[in-house]
A and B are shown apart, each in its own frame.
Chain A
């Protein structure tokens, strides 16, 4: 899939749920419930995403081309055939990077004004 910088910029800033989902599938294909668990683990249980929010986000992200359904299935003994696995696209990775950069820049700005803690 080809995309331009403006395609990426059009989607920024990302809704928090979208960003979290992108991070969850960044390194590995995951199914829905695994995404929820991953997000909860990474935020120490603070963000418990509901199934409705998750799949509505997934639907939109699929339409936007950020993720696709993965054709790779895990080993049969670990697999449940009802489950659907999602995989990040190159476009999704680019958008996640751009969002991360945007957030970093924001934090830098805040730091310069002394309203965010210095990196320890």
Chain B
């Protein structure tokens, strides 16, 4: 019978209390009449089914009743209902949107099979923690290692596509045949590369991205086998990748084979430009693989002491490589902020429910008096909060859908992921969890609080439930928590705004205003000749400079902050040690003037710096300081540690230019070297031949661009023009993730402040309503308006002061944890803290104003009448 009593716990406790003994009694009687064990077993089975079935029904009956009652109650208080739903909806919505991006970028494994076994391989030198590989080193790593299922190399590639319309510059990747094997992806049409496609005599082949197949060829079905022209080469299309395949980055339009077989095929061992990925064999840990690669790298260092001295190997999980720690921090900060908003929203919901429950104390007491057990009352109140949070959850989904486009901007373009974060089943499951958690977590507390003290006290006429007692203290604690959290958010967004200002105020080394830039890709091999290039540059520059309003124009091999360019090792005669690197650029005369980069000492690259003349260079201030501190750098010489004549040739410094932040505003930048484009010999390093045109002009961009476009097209019809943008846009792109993040966190901070304001207003309004007789009495006894106002304001101020103080302490730790995002702004930045405190107090004042005014209107005669 013990077992039977336990089973009865499946019934709602009110039902059990009423009929439990009877149910046991009936079962007992039936058991008495059973004559053999088989009958007893049958009896048990029937009873079990009966209890399961009827218990479920009994619960459902109660739920239906509670729902009906809830709907009635909520309809009777539309203001309360609406506030509760909107507050919860905003919290859940902000959280859902933030979760969807956190999930998309950080939580979900990369969209490749066995993503946890994928690693990125780097070279490591004393100067660089992570460095690309040289083809010979990759070849040796690939052939000597045993820890990997497959290892592949890839390098970025661009090509001019001559289709039907204007020439188009494409972004692609050169890959070794094992590339697709490592990632374990198949083509959606056709096939991926095999070793047959990658040898010296193999016909040229290409695989297209799904997006380029659609945009460039209208998604025609007979694309396979077609020959397309990329630069000067015809390649046969052998495959189209699936629409959701993006590697190494989102914008890649094609993949071409990369041949890295023979270490002696002309590649230089210390020219690093290959990326390498590999898949670990099952059961092989990254540490073991790292140890093996370390041994191989040591071996190579002994074998090639000149090139590979101190070159080690470094393995990194692919996910870690792709999602840099700053992105990680940025997304977590956002998610944290959204959690804060949710917390505040929930606190507000709890507070609203508590206030409502207190106002309904009499009703609850009556219900208790006519026999509704405490469990039934708790259930009733919980149903109410669940219904409210469910409605809030629905509103939240709408809020999240509205917020997603903004959040999608936070998905860094360098990830192999689509930028479309979607509300899928995972996210919806999260919403459901948050909604249920909100409904129950924050409904239980008020419900238990209320029902604990339901007794005849509540029935007494004029009883003022919940004032001055423990319940008001609980509500005050909740409001203080809200203020604390919103202060933390305010300070965080304040600090981030300060950091943005600081980053924006960093001098990039040029004057970005009214400068237009565009890329012109020289069709090879025709432009491998210095004379052909010279004709083109000279024609374009002289025509552009002749345009009205144009005050300067020049070419450079790679524009600052756009990625790419050369990092070359520098050798200065008489200075020993491992060569350090410098950013290497070829420029035309007039480039510095067009950019607004000052020539501090000496002269600019000139028209007389030609191929036959003495080799000259303009170097940055940091370059001069690094190699010739306390000496006159003009007239000093240096060369590059590469093994070809152009690099080996001694260059004489003729001018010092201001430093330019080539790698970006917030990154460390190598010293810079600029060489005259005319001194680049025929068929040498054509990759670095200048192609980025910059034009300083007072003319409107919209007028200027078509003019220049037609000039270029006339000079060279096969030349694609891409990346047309102002230099200002280029610089602003640097701070775009920050700007988006600030917009979001500031929005969350504003939202939480609003919610906290509602919280204070709600609490004080309720307290004032309950204390009206007291205020009336005070007024009757001669209290002035001022006195009443100060009583109410004081309450609000005490809450705010406590919340702000706690918020300041918490914000200090939050600020410390996101130091990496703060660009050197201290977590205790006085301006941010002061502004936050002022805003918090202003919010309190406005939240307290209405309740305070209401208090002063308390009617003394009502008190005297004995309300």
Instruction: Write the residues of chain A forming the contact surface with B, with a CB cutoff of 8 angstroms.
Output: 31-33, 36, 50-56, 58-60, 80, 82-84
Contact = CB atoms under 8 A, between A and B. Distances in A.
B22 A55 contact: yes
Contacts of B50: 50-53
Given A59-B19, A60-B61, A83 B54 contact: no
Given A52-B23, A52-B51, A33 B15 contact: no
B19 A58 contact: yes
Contacts of A83: 22, 25
Contacts of B25: 32-33, 80, 82-83
A83 B25 CA distance: 8
Contacts of A36: 26
26 contacts: A31-B22, A32-B22, A32-B26, A33-B25, A33-B26, A33-B29, A50-B47, A50-B50, A51-B22, A51-B27, A51-B47, A52-B50, A52-B53, A53-B54, A55-B15, A55-B19, A55-B22, A56-B15, A56-B54, A58-B19, A59-B18, A80-B25, A82-B22, A82-B25, A83-B22, A83-B25
Contacts, number: 50
A59 B22 contact: no
A18 B29 CA distance: 22
Given A32-B22, A55-B15, A84-B22, 13 more contacts: A32-B25, A32-B26, A33-B29, A51-B22, A51-B47, A52-B54, A53-B50, A55-B19, A56-B15, A56-B57, A82-B22, A82-B25, A83-B25
Nearest to A37: B29
A106 to B, nearest CB: 27
A80 B22 CA distance: 11
Interface of B: 15, 18-19, 21-23, 25-27, 29, 46-47, 50-51, 53-55, 57-58, 61
Nearest to B53: A52
A50 B54 contact: yes
B465 to A, nearest CB: 29
A36 B18 CA distance: 18
Nearest to B29: A33
Nearest to B58: A56
Contacts of A53: 50, 54
A30 to B, nearest CB: 12
Contact of A82 (B21, B27, B54, B58): B21
Contacts of A82: 21-22, 25
Nearest to B46: A50
B256 to A, nearest CB: 73
Contact of A59 (B15, B46, B53, B55): B15
B54 to A, nearest CB: 3
B418 to A, nearest CB: 53
Nearest to B55: A52
Which of B19, B26, B27 counts the most chain A CB atoms within 10 A?
B26
B228 to A, nearest CB: 75
B53 to A, nearest CB: 7
Closest 3 CB pairs of A and B: A52-B54, A50-B50, A55-B19
Nearest to B27: A51
Given A56-B54, A60-B61, A82-B21, A51 B26 contact: yes
B361 to A, nearest CB: 25
Contacts of A31: 22
Contacts of B57: 56
A53 B46 CA distance: 12
Given A50-B46, A50-B50, A55 B23 contact: yes
B561 to A, nearest CB: 74
Most B CB contacts (10 A, CB to CB) among A50, A51, A54, A58 go to: A51
B69 to A, nearest CB: 14
Greatest chain B CB density within 10 A among A33, A50, A59, A80 is at A50
A3 to B, nearest CB: 21
Nearest to B65: A63
A56 B26 CA distance: 14
A54 B50 CA distance: 11
A2 B27 CA distance: 37
A51 B50 CA distance: 8
Nearest to B51: A52
A23 to B, nearest CB: 19
A52 B53 CA distance: 8
Contacts of B18: 59
B524 to A, nearest CB: 86
Nearest to B25: A82
B233 to A, nearest CB: 81
B49 to A, nearest CB: 8
B24 to A, nearest CB: 9
